[in-house]
Amino acid sequence: MKERVAIQGYIGSYHHEAANNYLGNDIKIVECDTFKTLAKSLAKGKVDKAIMAIENTIAGAILPNYALLTKYNLKVVGEIYLSIQHQLMVKKGQILEDIKEVRSHQMALLQCDKFLEKHPAWRVVNDIDTALTAKDIVEQELNGVAAIASRKAAEVYGLDILASSIQTFQDNFTRFFVLQREHNDYEDFNKVSMRFSVPHKSGALVDVLNQIAECRINMDKIQSVPIIEKPWEYSFHIDITFEQKEQYYELLGKIARKLTDLEILGEYKPGKK
């Protein structure tokens, strides 16, 4: 049986492209309207894996997704870095002057902020997913409406591209997590994502960071995420890479007893940047 893989969005979305890049084409894609539905589908065993965008080089972190990892107890087994080149597309025959409204996923709209500023008269509408906006234009024969989506979406649904690579900065990348219900037992991992909180006292976070430096471990990212039950308190999500696993085990030995809620979200191989 083919592996069932949940994506946020529809066929032709960036999540779809990320899933195929990592897992190949011989998989069963399960389309989910929201990140929450995606997380729930995986937690309930309706799919084997899920692909979840976590951060973008222009628009930043997708903060609610960090909370979903914890809420649904999902594990990171890999990551994908995808170049995101947004295209402005319309129903065949429509021209730039016809456009009154532009639709896309919220993150895609954020990434095209500069381009949209040049067209202040356009109504900007958030939608579930980039590919769905393209699909709707064709299926509902919408005039005066443009979608911001991938070249793949324009091909799949048959739209005309009026402007290419309209993101604010040409080098635009989104990082996706590959998620499962259980940890993978990879032998040769050299990247780890973990979450912890520290006591509200001076130097508590610095102490953890110092231990990372002492083990000669590189911290790729730190993200603070609000703890909703404790207003103005935060948990920290960090990604670390190292050469030898021993460095990581040494770090765990040093910090585990100081942190009450250390959680390993995943041990995996870094994606190709």
Round to the nearest angstrom and report the end-to-end CA distance of the chain: 31
The reply to whether 31 sits near ligand PRE by the rule CB under 6 A is no
DSSP 215: T
The reply to whether 193 sits near ligand PRE by the rule CB under 6 A is no
Tell me which stretch binds ligand PRE (CB under 6 A): 118-126, 127-135, 157-165, 223-231: 127-135
| Residues 76, 268 contacting (CB under 8 angstroms) | yes
Closest CB to ligand PRE among 166 and 208? Answer: 166
Site string for ligand PRE, 39-78 (x = CB under 6 A): --------------x--x----------------------
Spell out the long-range contacts of 93-96 with Cβ–Cβ below 8 A and sequence spacing 24 or more: 93/160, 94/143, 94/144, 94/146, 94/160, 94/162, 95/162, 96/162, 96/163
Helix (H) or strand (E) holding 151: helix 151-157
| Residues 130, 105 contacting (CB under 8 angstroms) | yes
Least spacing, CB of residue 153 vs ligand PRE, in Å: 7
Among 31, 48, 129, 239, contact with ligand PRE (rule: CB under 6 A)? 129
The reply to whether 107 sits near ligand PRE by the rule CB under 6 A is yes
Please list every residue from 218 through 257 that binds ligand PRE, using CB under 6 A.
none
Alpha-carbon distance of 17 to 5, in angstroms, equals 12
Among 13, 167, 223, 235, contact with ligand PRE (rule: CB under 6 A)? 13
With b for 16 or more beta-carbon neighbours within 10 A and e for fewer, the 13-39 pattern comes to: bbbbbbbbebbeeebebbbbeebbebb
Among 131, 147, 154, 192, contact with ligand PRE (rule: CB under 6 A)? 131
- The three-point CA angle 107-173-73 to 5° equals 70
The reply to whether 15 sits near ligand PRE by the rule CB under 6 A is yes
In the chain, what are the helix, strand and coil shares in percent, each to the nearest 5? 30, 35, 35
The reply to whether 167 sits near ligand PRE by the rule CB under 6 A is no
The reply to whether 115 sits near ligand PRE by the rule CB under 6 A is no
The reply to whether 130 sits near ligand PRE by the rule CB under 6 A is yes
DSSP 173: E
Closest CB to ligand PRE among 168 and 184? Answer: 168
125: amino acid identity, one letter: V
With 0-12 CB in 10 A as exposed, 13-18 as middle and 19+ as buried, what is 66?
A: buried
The reply to whether 134 sits near ligand PRE by the rule CB under 6 A is no
Tell me which stretch binds ligand PRE (CB under 6 A): 67-75, 128-136, 157-165, 225-233: 128-136
Closest CB to ligand PRE among 103 and 195? Answer: 103
Closest CB to ligand PRE among 42 and 240? Answer: 42
Among 5, 84, 198, 240, contact with ligand PRE (rule: CB under 6 A)? 84
Q: Under the rule (CB under 6 A), what is the footprint of ligand PRE?
A: 8-9, 13-15, 53, 56, 84, 105, 107-108, 129-131, 174
